[in-house]
Structure 1
Amino acid sequence: MKKSTLLNADIAYLTGTLGHTDEVTICDAGLPIPEHVQRIDLALTRRVPSFLDTVRVYLTDSQIEGVIMAEEFATVSPECHQALLEALKQEEQRCGKTFSIQYVSHEAFKQRTDNSRAVIRTGECTPYANVIFQTGVVF
């Protein structure tokens, strides 16, 4: 049995096959997912699993260098947005790297998911609780 934090086989395979600058979206239960993009659906019921729990586990297995969020996230759901920023700050300290953070409109965010290698859907029901991670390198 796998010893690390991440146990989901689909996400473990995804992180193991990502290349530098590949993008992965982690989203709430309502974000539309393009038909041609791999969907990894973790949603069991409302709020399970949560967006932040999913992000934290994902970050244990994948090195990122960039973060893209909708501008609306910070104003409509400030508590969740701030919690994500805190998780990112902790990850920066853990790995010794600084991540670029970019904000776009929610419409532009939805269009950007079209480029994702996969979209990981959570049970989160907080508006705009979505993030795109750009894959970095560990060296």
Structure 2
Amino acid sequence: MRRKGILNVKLSRAISEMGHDDIMLVVDAGFPMVYDDRVIDLALCPGVPDLRTVLSAIRQDMWVEAFYMIEEAKANNPNAWGTTNEVFPDALPDTRPNSWFHEEGYHGAKYIVRTGGWMPWGNVALISGIPVKEWFDNTGGDVPDSWTERHALNVKHGMTGVK
């Protein structure tokens, strides 16, 4: 039996299968989708589990380089926007139109995690990342300039490697 971390077998396996730049959508209870092998349905009842709980669990095991939320979330669901920024302070935040989540994001997502989230604009696209310094340490060279911002965010928030 696992001592800590994500106990849900399918979610744990999904995180292990995520590669750099893969997308994991974390969606609310009302997100329209086909229940195929990519869907990990955690919803139990309205609000359970909530967005923060699911994102916090994912944070324990997954490197998240960036996240996208629906454009309207900043103004119309500041709780979801703030929660996501708090859980992933070292990820680069961005927005996408609602249509992106239902089309490009949905079709491009490696996995879709359904929460019990009971609110509008509560969908998040997590972009899988890497432990920057460790990744580049194995090259014998320095972290490229194009990665220094990512590395600085990792270090600032205590995410410096896998050890």
Q: Shorter-normalised TM-score: what interval?
A: 0.7 to 0.9
Q: Does 1:82 align with 2:74?
A: no
Backbone CA RMSD of aligned residues = 1.5
The answer to whether the 8 Å contact 1:67/1:101 transfers is: yes
* TM-score of the two chains, using structure 1 as the length reference: 0.87
Contact 1:25 1:131 in 2 (8 A): yes
Counterpart position of 2:120: 127
Q: Deviations over 1:104-137 (max 9, x none)?
A: 1111222112100110001111111110111111
Decide which structure has the larger Cα Rg and report it: 2
Q: Say whether the 8 Å CA contact 2:54–2:115 is kept in structure 1.
A: yes
Post-superposition offset of 1:87: 1.6
Percent identity between matched residues is 24
Among candidates 96, 106, 109, match of residue 104 of structure 1: 96
CA contact (8 A) 1:24 1:133 kept: yes
Larger RCO: Structure 1 or Structure 2 (Cα < 8 Å, ≥ 6 residues apart)?
A: 1
Displacement of 1:30 in angstroms is: 0.8
Counterparts of 1:1-16 in structure 2, within 5 Å, are 1-16=1-16
Q: Is the 1:15–1:61 Cα contact (8 Å) retained in structure 2?
A: yes
Q: Which amino acid aligns with 2:52?
A: L
Once residues 24 and 60 of structure 1 are traced to their aligned partners in structure 2, the CA distance between those partners, rounded to angstroms, is 15
Structure 1, unaligned stretches of length 5 or more?
Answer: 93-98
Q: Hey, what's the Cα distance between the residues in 1 that align with 2:24 and 2:88?
A: 15
Which runs of 5 or more structure 2 residues have no equivalent in the other structure? 136-163
Native 8 Å contact 1:37 1:119 kept in 2: no
Could you give the per-residue CA deviations for residues 73-108 of structure 1, whole angstroms, max 9, x where no partner exists? 11211122212212222xx2xxxxxx2222111112
**Correspondence 1:62-81 to 2 at 5 A:** 62-81=62-81
TM-score (norm 2): 0.75
Aligned length: 131
Runs of at least 4 residues of structure 1 off by over 4 A?
34-37
